[in-house]
Copies of this chain bind each other. A is one copy, B any other.
Amino acid sequence: MSEAECVLITGGAGYIGSHTTIEVINSGYTAVIIDNLCNSSIECIHRVTKILGHKVPFYQCDVRNKKALQQVFSKHKIAHVLHFAGVKAVGESCRKPLMYYKNNMECTFTLLEVMREYEVFNLVFSSSATVYGVPKYLPVDEKHVTGGCTSPYGRTKYYLEQMMYDLAAADERWNFVLLRYFNPAGAHPSGEIGEDPSGPPNNLMPYMAQVAVGRRKELQVFGSDYDTPDGTGVRDYIHVVDLAVGHVNALKKLSSKCGIVAYNLGTGQGYSVLDMIHAFEKASGKEIPYQMAPRRTGDVDSCYADATIAQKELGWKAKYGLTEMCEDLWRWQSMNPHGFNPPQENGDCLPNGHAK
């Protein structure tokens, strides 16, 4: 690139968004972050500044706030958008489906409208392996049927993917890379940023890290009677820095006028909950007390990726393994036992960016 292209990053103060911001900038792009800080912290933005050695333009606003979004597009010459903004807890989505549909879909509708208005037609969408529903075969490749999702959260991702296919069919100016994440884990090797859920973590790794650091008494293992080698759920954990790098490769793909394409971002390797506990115990030197608990609604037995298409078409492959994920997670958690801020319960995301 002669002049650095500018990438708008929605949800850039979140877990994956913040790690991706760093990789995007380190790859020669400039970036602008929008985040309503509904489920993230301004301190994360400060840490990103610290890691990079300079500030990244940041707007605290909700993507559903059309006027605010238009101002961002007016002020910056955006070339691509990485769309991370959204709510993402499977269990919560079953309890609050309307909030999930409303947040995730409305913010995407507004974003796409404003992009079209400003003639920005390149989007990387944060999708999820959950769009495959209960896997019919393993490893799951991109040809696997989508739909049949097991939670409202998953359905929002699937429906938005489908809408993007419709948009790409209707108007050839659109380019979409749908990145179907498997299970992001780990943290930036600096220990400055990492996953910091507000309220009790919904995912294994941050929960385990909070147990190790003394914030939670013990881990609950949801389901010990799954059809897997040790009975606990098997997932494809991927280092968040690997995932972040995958977005940089996706940006290059967009520049090739790709139309709409979907890629799995995973390692191709499945690990059980017990595998993860043992690896994390080793990395942290802490014992993780755990207790078996019933299955959670919406969870599947096993899910891991066939990631060969991403390697072939994006030139991307995960570099880091379980050891780095656990070591980097532990560095982040032990350096920041309470994450970015004192703990706070999570609430509904409102368009003004305040939690209810």
Q: Which residues of A contact B (CB under 8 A)?
A: 94-98, 101-102, 105-106, 109, 112-113, 116, 147, 152, 155, 159, 162-163, 166-167, 169-170
Q: A170 contacts which of B95, B116, B162, B170 (Cβ < 8 Å)? A: B95
User: In the complex, A94 Cα to B95 Cα: how many Å?
Assistant: 33
Q: Are B98 and A163 in contact (CB under 8 A)?
A: yes
Q: Can you name 7 A-B residue pairings with CB atoms under 8 Å?
A: A94-B166, A98-B109, A98-B113, A98-B116, A98-B163, A98-B167, A105-B105
Q: Are A167 and B109 in contact (CB under 8 A)?
A: no
Could you tell me the dominant secondary structure of chain A's interface residues? helix
User: In the complex, A3 Cα to B105 Cα: how many Å?
Assistant: 40
Please indicate the chain B residues that have their CB under 8 angstroms from the CB of A97 in the complex: 163, 166-167, 169-170
Known: A155-B159, A159-B159, A162-B155. A170 touches B105 (CB 8 A): no
Please indicate the chain B residues that have their CB under 8 angstroms from the CB of A159 in the complex: 155, 159
Q: Are A169 and B94 in contact (CB under 8 A)?
A: yes
Considering residues A109, A116, A166, which has the most beta carbons from chain B within 10 angstroms of its beta carbon?
A: A166
User: In the complex, A96 Cα to B95 Cα: how many Å?
Assistant: 32
User: In the complex, A106 Cα to B109 Cα: how many Å?
Assistant: 9
User: In the complex, A96 Cα to B147 Cα: how many Å?
Assistant: 23
Taking A101-B166, A152-B166, A155-B166 as known contacts, 8 extra A-B pairs with beta carbons closer than 8 A to each other, sorted by chain A number, are A97-B170, A98-B112, A98-B113, A101-B109, A101-B163, A102-B109, A102-B113, A159-B159
User: In the complex, A112 Cα to B169 Cα: how many Å?
Assistant: 31
Chain B residue with minimal CB distance to A163? B101
Q: A96 contacts which of B98, B106, B170 (Cβ < 8 Å)? A: B170
Please indicate the chain B residues that have their CB under 8 angstroms from the CB of A94 in the complex: 166, 169-170
A42 CB → nearest B CB, Å: 28
Please indicate the chain B residues that have their CB under 8 angstroms from the CB of A101 in the complex: 105, 109, 163, 166
User: In the complex, A167 Cα to B101 Cα: how many Å?
Assistant: 10
A173 CB → nearest B CB, Å: 13
Please indicate the chain B residues that have their CB under 8 angstroms from the CB of A106 in the complex: 105-106, 109
Q: A152 contacts which of B95, B105, B113, B163 (Cβ < 8 Å)? A: B163
